Amino acid sequence: MGGLMDNQLQKGRAAVSRPAAKSAKAIRGAAVPPAAPVVPLAPPMSPVQARRLSAAVLGGVPAFRRTLHVGRPNMPDQQVFLARIQQVLSSGQLTNWGPMVQDFEARVAEIAGARHCIATCNATTGLELAIGGLGMTGDVIVPSFTFIATVHALWRQGVRPVFCDIDPTTHCLDPDCVEAAITSLTTGILGVHLWGNSCASERLRELAREHGLKLMFDAAHAFGCQPEQPKNSYLGDAEVYSFHATKCIHAFEGGAIVTNDDALADRLRYMVNFGFAGEDQVAHLGTNGKMNEASAAMGLTSVDAMDRFFAHNRENYAAFEKGLAGLPGLSLMPRAAARRHSYQYVVTEIDPDTAGLTRDELVAALRLENVVARRYFYPGCHRMQPYAGLSPRAGQTLPVTEAVAQRVMVLPTGTQISCQDAARMCARIASLLRQAPAVRAALKHCKDPRLPHFAPLRAGSH
């Protein structure tokens, strides 16, 4: 394996040496015009250099010494954060709507352009609260191409998810499929602003109005992201953010529900605190979904750094655009038309027929480069438990979801990744694709413990 060098590198060296040989011949001949300037020969590559430039799966040196991950936390200013924590400790109020949570709710509402914000301990609880608060029952239309929490939140509220296909360009709900899926049992639509992209909000709003449905959005990926022309309907009846540590703006763990519906906001404020409407008066079914003061302190400090984080990711994205341009069979999701975007997800799709490698093979080969690229959201929620029996005709009803789930690979970005890292990742991906047949053959025999252990799909889940 060690002898398998990047043959493209060798080709590159040959291309430099050819014109030089020609000009030497020309100088010897009398009748020819003066030779073109001599192009110096590249020094021969040492075996060490060759190993450094070759893919790790082919015996080369990994592209990175440290391991790069998707979703490593963006760290805001530590001094500012510690000053806030000091304030929390001095105040003696650690939770139950202290001043940090109140400030955080005000900041989130302002950025979202919403009248109300209810901070929560995480987005999953926020989704459950919003589903219950909106009175969704029966069937609710939801994409299968999402993180499983979107669907669990419905199920745990006693609502049946009706999986609907997505738009191949945005990976968000396809409104035509939503329209086709509406029945007399449907009470709502739960869209997902995936990757921070806006989920056809206007069309979904019209459909919801026409059919008397509730409309809410899982905006776990989308805090701070704004479509080009924000409309009131962007929020739907309610929208839920995640402030988990993997999100661009985080609160260690955290979530928030925003809404312009005054009555819903009142209800949610009770529901997030066990249903308490007074000292000893319980007015609603509720839970303990409150955010604590330490999380809110981190959330506020993270929001302070939002412009810096977004700008850093935007620069990384430009490096990925440059480095991945023109690679056969690999496409980077084009930038969304947005007024503001976090670029927190570097989403690529691999077409195995053109790339010569499947998405899973590329993910595996990158692990040996110490790049933990991720498959998202494979194999689609409709193939996971307890939902695997709900879409028996998924091949016909969810063709885009099925195809996209096989092809998406997300690359690491965020403030722990530099533009140089991004460029180096791209160069190594290019190298892997150029040597696709050799990479595929080498992977078959590779026993490296860093390789992912992709579980086979359970029988009956198709």
Q: Which residues bind ligand PLP (CB under 6 A)?
A: 122-124, 146-147, 149-150, 192, 218, 220-221, 242, 244, 255
C-alpha closest to that of 169 among 206, 197, 207: 197
**Nearer to ligand PLP among residue 123 and residue 372 (C-beta):** 123
Q: What is the smallest separation between the CB atom of 335 and ligand PLP, expressed in angstroms? A: 20
**Nearer to ligand PLP among residue 374 and residue 424 (C-beta):** 374
Three-state SS letters, the chain: CCCCCCHHHHHHHHHHHHHHHHHHHHHHCCCCCCCCCCCCCCCCCCHHHHHHHCCHHHCCCCCCCCCEECCCCCCCCHHHHHHHHHHHHHHCCCCCCCHHHHHHHHHHHHHHCCCEEEEECCHHHHHHHHHHHCCCCCEEEEECCCCHHHHHHHHHCCCEEEEECECCCCCCECHHHHHHHCCCCEEEEEEECHHHCCCCHHHHHHHHHHHCCEEEEECCCCCCCEECCCCHHHHCCEEEEECCCCCCCCCCCCEEEEECCHHHHHHHHHHCECCECCCCCECCCCCECCCCHHHHHHHHHHHHCHHHHHHHHHHHHHHHHHHHCCCCCEEECCCCCEEECCCCCEEEEECHHHHCCCHHHHHHHHHCCCEECEECCCCCHHHCCCCCCCCCCHHHHCHHHHHHHHHEEEECCCCCCCHHHHHHHHHHHHHHHHCHHHHHHHHHHCCCCCCCCCCCCCCCCC
**Nearer to ligand PLP among residue 98 and residue 255 (C-beta):** 255
Q: What is the smallest separation between the CB atom of 150 and ligand PLP, expressed in angstroms? A: 5
Q: What is the smallest separation between the CB atom of 303 and ligand PLP, expressed in angstroms? A: 16
**Nearer to ligand PLP among residue 244 and residue 424 (C-beta):** 244
Distance CA 307, CA 341 (A): 10
Q: What is the smallest separation between the CB atom of 387 and ligand PLP, expressed in angstroms? A: 15
Q: What is the smallest separation between the CB atom of 345 and ligand PLP, expressed in angstroms? A: 10
How would you classify the pairing of strands 408-411 and 330-332?
unpaired
Q: What is the smallest separation between the CB atom of 246 and ligand PLP, expressed in angstroms? A: 6
Q: What is the smallest separation between the CB atom of 123 and ligand PLP, expressed in angstroms? A: 3
Residue 346 parent element (H or E)? strand 346-350
**Nearer to ligand PLP among residue 70 and residue 182 (C-beta):** 70
**Nearer to ligand PLP among residue 338 and residue 419 (C-beta):** 338
Beta carbons of 391 and 382 less than 8 angstroms apart: yes
**Nearer to ligand PLP among residue 147 and residue 317 (C-beta):** 147
Q: What is the smallest separation between the CB atom of 295 and ligand PLP, expressed in angstroms? A: 11
**Nearer to ligand PLP among residue 289 and residue 329 (C-beta):** 289
**Nearer to ligand PLP among residue 95 and residue 418 (C-beta):** 95
Q: CA dihedral defined by 123, 129, 135, 139, rounded to 10 degrees?
A: 40
Q: What is the smallest separation between the CB atom of 135 and ligand PLP, expressed in angstroms? A: 21
Q: What is the smallest separation between the CB atom of 363 and ligand PLP, expressed in angstroms? A: 19
Q: What is the smallest separation between the CB atom of 365 and ligand PLP, expressed in angstroms? A: 26
**Nearer to ligand PLP among residue 257 and residue 388 (C-beta):** 257
Name the token pair of 370: 């110490």
**Nearer to ligand PLP among residue 17 and residue 288 (C-beta):** 288
